[in-house]
Chain A
């Protein structure tokens, strides 16, 4: 290299090297700026939400989060019913989706014959590709009538002694919202759990098989207990998605700001109140309150996703280290 540059005349060397170095610097900075645009986006979102909700933050302070009166006419806004609705519908979704997803992930990594695994994974990816609004459409015209006519009356008859399953049945309800969210988060929990289970080192399984364990015992002792932190991460990731689901939930949850025990009663979530009322917000305070609802939703999903990513990444890294 040194001899080569030394033998080339000064002017020619400049011609060869200088323009390309210039291009390199430009290109490097260009890609750097583009890569850091994601950081800019995070700041942009936080700043926009904060700036636009400052009016409501100043006016209502902390009471925004713990009062339940939502009255646009009197300009009194408390987001508690939406926080409650978001939490309860996500909780229902997790109760339904977590066992199903993890069992499916176990089936896909430990039990299913090889030839069926890839097609099943593709089908689950297809489920993930269904747009939210279309699942909502199906929810409104197929699922909700079915729940109203068949499932809810049966639940009321058999489990009616619980306060959860009392009261009039409308069809659109907290429970319907929870079920549709469950369907939406099934694919993500399944696919992340599958990644987690696949990163469990085979040595674990072989050791358990070597002790004479059956297939289920291997799965339980060697795989599931080894992977429990990672699986927890997958569940939290699902929770993050559940909290922010908008369109499908808005279409089936009934959109009534109230806090009642019955799951048959309509509810409202943070995301769906924004979707429904944003374009109707006529006053500055109203709009600002909706921005604050968005800020709350953003803060919660960021926190939940942060925890989930840390759990999942730490697990995958440590088990990759264990193999080495």
Chain B
């Protein structure tokens, strides 16, 4: 009796383990499926003209997304100009100056902001920039992405800066260096790799954002290098093509998606590589 009960408990434990394994497989499954279809549908449409040509009008086969790819990088550039200095210096405040209470509050606000739906940023920047200027613009799109980056980078840079050993700070201060110079030359320099990692991750995250760009950058079928005019972006172009009724556009949407995912994943993998060597160096 007792023996068989014990066996039943063992079997139950094994069953639940198997069930948990199954769930883990199911969680990973969408990743595999999305990748499989991206490669199958997208690979045939990614060719040289995709990277060099402008979109063709409806009905003409071919064309590319050159303007959208460049546009995405322009938007990321503007976003980085806003998000990186603000985020990193905000992180410096949390790591070097702030008190326990203030830090708790600011961290809390950052976490709340990270949960704000990205479409909200889109309409807020619409009200803030597009309405007064009376035009959709690359600038507005970049600002929307920059706003999303700020709380992300504040949190990440604080974490990275706290990893710098206090001995470094004390040694620098003992030599008579001003505190701000110590922060810039010793702390930020030591943490540089981690900061770059955090910034790249934040950029990869906003590079795929579509919702904040719908009413700010708006999209454009032509080249545009004027920051006050609407600009194309890869996610916007994918969205526009995906909901269109044309087969050739669907094919291009898959190609664009493949390119976008490859870009974000390359950054993610590179970052993983960077952090691995960093934690290995710290362990030494």
Our verdict on whether A and B bind, yes or no, reads yes
A residues near B, CB below 8 A?
16, 20-21, 23-24, 26-28, 30-32, 34-39, 41-42, 44-45, 48-49, 51-52, 99-101, 103-104, 106-108, 111-112, 120, 122-127, 129-138, 140-142, 183, 186-187, 190, 214-217, 219, 237, 240-241, 243-247, 251, 271, 274-275, 278-279, 290-291, 294, 297-298, 301-302, 304-306, 308-309, 313
**Distance, CA A45 to CA B253, complexed state (A):** 32
Evaluate contact between B24 and A36: CB separation under 8 angstroms.
no
Q: Which residues of B contact A241 (CB under 8 A)?
A: 115
Q: Which residues of A contact B89 (CB under 8 A)?
A: 30-31, 34-35
**Distance, CA A111 to CA B214, complexed state (A):** 44
Q: Which residues of A contact B34 (CB under 8 A)?
A: 130, 134-135, 138
Q: Which residue of A lies closest to B151 (CB)?
A: A38
Given A120-B28, A127-B31, A141-B41: A244 in contact with B117 (beta carbons within 8 A)? yes
Evaluate contact between A138 and B33: CB separation under 8 angstroms.
yes
How many residues of chain B have a CB within 8 Å of chain A? 88
* Any A CB within 8 A of the CB of B123: yes
Q: Which residues of A contact B92 (CB under 8 A)?
A: 31, 34
In the assembled complex, the CB of A298 is this many whole angstroms from the nearest CB of chain B, namely 5
Evaluate contact between A106 and B20: CB separation under 8 angstroms.
yes
Q: Which residue of B lies closest to A99 (CB)?
A: B23
Q: What is the interface of chain A mostly: helix, strand, loop, or mixed?
A: helix
Given A107-B24, A246-B211, A279-B214: A302 in contact with B116 (beta carbons within 8 A)? yes
* Any A CB within 8 A of the CB of B109: yes
Q: Which residues of B contact A135 (CB under 8 A)?
A: 30, 34
A-B Cβ contacts below 8 A, count:
267
Q: Which residues of A contact B110 (CB under 8 A)?
A: 38
Evaluate contact between B93 and A31: CB separation under 8 angstroms.
yes
In the assembled complex, the CB of B268 is this many whole angstroms from the nearest CB of chain A, namely 6
Evaluate contact between A247 and B124: CB separation under 8 angstroms.
no
Evaluate contact between B180 and A27: CB separation under 8 angstroms.
yes
**Which chain B residues (79-119) contact chain A, with CB distance < 8 Å?**
85-87, 89-94, 96-98, 106, 108-113, 115-119
Task: Identify 25 residue pairs between A and B in the complex whose beta-carbon atoms are under 8 Å apart, listed by A's number.
Answer: A20-B179, A30-B89, A32-B93, A37-B86, A39-B106, A45-B116, A52-B127, A100-B26, A104-B23, A104-B27, A107-B17, A129-B205, A131-B235, A133-B242, A134-B257, A141-B254, A244-B115, A246-B119, A246-B210, A247-B239, A251-B242, A271-B117, A291-B127, A301-B120, A309-B108
